[in-house]
Amino acid sequence: ILAAGVSQAVQGFTALPAVEGELSEVAAFGAKAVLLDSAFSAQAFEKNLRETPVSVVHVASHARFSADSRQSFLLTYDGRLSIDRLEQQLRTTRLRDDPIELLFLSACESAAGDERAALGLAGVAVKAGARSAVATLWQVSDAATRVLVGEFYRQLAQPGVSKAEALRRAQQLLLSDLRYRHPGLWSPFMVIGNWL
């Protein structure tokens, strides 16, 4: 797993205080690299993606998708990773012995798309070579996302549990918690591409 995220307020975007805990939970499942806050630069992310053999990439940050590719990005600590650059970086991993099996975009509206790219940043990632992506259709709660992410990876680690089933079980966990029962908190997440 390559895990990256921004928890601090940077570049006019609000802080995401649960990101640090989210990445800690993800790291417990075998992260080869964790890039948090200042360590999550566009350059460091691209270098790790290029040089570290991982099958899962997890990004917890802000994101924006627009019909204008210059306005579409994942927020890094020091800048913005454009949709075109993300696509280019993911495309280079397709030729590996173990390509990217899962890209988890723990960011707002990462599955919202338009006529240019159906399913937004996640759709671009799958098109570029990631076998599947977990992404969101609208803005998400930082605290609820941390709970969902931890449960998703716990379930995915179980023998015979598919990505779709792991996500369903994580969503059910949120549904059973009065704090996170509202559909706006658990339902924006979706699996794109290979759901097995």
Report how far residue 90's alpha carbon sits from residue 129's, in angstroms, rounded to the nearest whole number.
Answer: 6
Poorest-confidence range of 61-65, 87-91, 122-126? Answer: 122-126
Q: Is it the case that residue 118 has pLDDT exceeding 80?
A: no
In b/e form, how buried is each residue of 62-81, taking b as 16+ CB within 10 angstroms?
Answer: bbbbeeebeebbbbbbeebb
Collapse the DSSP code of 110 into the 3-class scheme (helix H, G, I; strand E, B; otherwise coil) and give the result: coil
Higher pLDDT pick, 118 / 17: 17
* Cβ–Cβ < 8 Å for 183, 172: no
Among residues 87, 110, 100, which one has the least CA distance to residue 190?
Answer: 110
